[in-house]
Structure 1
């Protein structure tokens, strides 16, 4: 079980590399540093590269995130942003397109169902699941009927649809009250519910961040993997790294610290202070690799 580094002095110097608190994490970091050209650096977007905001449309990458990624990406096999957002939206909100140094970047959007490649600048994706459109059409009346419309709002995500409770008078109570009814609604349309930080997302089954990360690591024959995330949707990616480690591929699990979700913090090898801490880690890795 991981734990936070000393919150009063998390880094010895501005350019120091934070130390994992677990043996497996230390092995993962050592493998990344030993052969960075065979390492995959994978990161969630919201809450990891971008601060959480009340309106997801206003979310933008931390101002130092792209420079940090551009410094690190040429030194590793690949950087992968693994997100529940549409790939194109993450690219726009992240400011990833056309940046020198990010040629090794891919964005695996909609939990891996979509893929944007920096080399081509294009998104590859299958046809959308018909249940998403059906659920989206039913949601406003559904929320109104169960008395949960006040303070909640619907986010259109193309291949998914999400209900946010962060603006409700009691966001956690609204989240808990909606979880079971929305799970029933999703099931009627062949979808599943993915819970997050004050958000419940209805999306097709079969893909998650763990599947996306495992398949990508296998595709490029990664010899080590770092994954950083902050939310419940990142747990499958943590599980994928655990599986890779059990199969002999070292890995490092990083939690972008949050008081709203504790599960990742408890499983992480290293906890950093939100997106600013993630940026620091990326910079320190790039500096250490040289």
Structure 2
């Protein structure tokens, strides 16, 4: 189990003492409360104002999300920041949009699997979210989460096309992705190595954030930066994911409290 963040703030003063610090965070469940549907999630105005101040104070402010990158930008509303969408497969830096060309050949396969799943789904509470590159199948509103997940996975196994794509799990969702070797950890490394920072903190709340936590540990062991990783706890997170972070906080309000501390 990681340590409670607010018991160790003295050890994290190095984040505040240098302008060459990167503040990198997930969005949903970290700076925005988890909502019943993706479209209902919001970054509130107090959080947005603090993030705008963070962007002025520190060298890098970056948001890495499973959402489409333009949706992440719209939701957060801090145009000076770096935005990474679809878990690292597309990004906006200095207002320029890019995505990896390797994903293109898999998009028809992902869409075919998703539409076939939708046709077979007997549960109207399952939400199918087309994210352009990836496709998320949300079952948070279903009565029996475990049974619904099993039915989704069983249906996918019956589709030959599913063997050519990547199937990942998140908080009450199954995600169909291109099988491209890219994740939040690799994009964190890319941001840090290209930004000339001396320290970094990453905040996240989901299974995919563990890649970023582990990559920060590697960067620190390579003596490239000083780093901290912070997980936002919830009952939905497996224990092994919790253990990949250095510190924990108990919810989005404590993330806001930490960001305000960075500004003091």
Q: Shorter-normalised TM-score: what interval?
A: 0.7 to 0.9
Q: Does 1:280 align with 2:257?
A: yes
Unaligned runs of 5+ residues in structure 2 are none
Matches within 5 A, 1:33-72: 33-35=16-18, 37-72=19-54
**1:161-217 C-alpha deviation (Å, 9 max, x unpaired):** 111111211123312443465367586463212211000111112111001101111
Per the normalisation by structure 2, the TM-score is: 0.88
Residue deviations 1:12-66 (CA, integer Å, cap 9, x gap): xxxxxx2339xxxx75x2431332x111110001111111111101211133221
CA RMSD in angstroms, aligned pairs only: 2.4
Q: Which segment is superposed worse, 271-280 or 234-243? A: 271-280
For residues 246 and 256 of structure 1, the distance between their equivalents in structure 2, rounded to whole angstroms, comes to 24
**TM-score (norm: length of structure 1):** 0.81
Equivalent residue in structure 2 for 1:254, among 230, 234, 244: 230
Total equivalences in the alignment: 260
User: Could you tell me how far apart the structure 1 residues matched to 2:32 and 2:160 are?
Assistant: 28
Once residues 70 and 184 of structure 2 are traced to their aligned partners in structure 1, the CA distance between those partners, rounded to angstroms, is 17
The answer as to whether partners of 1:84 and 1:111 remain within 8 angstroms in 2 is yes
Q: Partners in 1 of 2:214 and 2:165 — Cα distance?
A: 22
Measured in 1, the distance between the counterparts of 2:137 and 2:124 equals 12
Residue 8 of structure 2 is aligned to residue 20 of structure 1: yes
Q: Which runs of 5+ in 1 are unaligned?
A: 6-17, 98-102
* In 2: Cα distance, 1:126 partner to 1:49 partner: 27
Q: Is contact 1:183–1:193 with CA below 8 Å preserved after alignment?
A: no
CA contact (8 A) 1:3 1:265 kept: no
TM-fit CA distance, 1:254:
0.6
What SS class does the counterpart of residue 132 from structure 1 fall into?
helix
- Whether contact under 8 Å (1:196, 1:233) holds in the other structure is yes
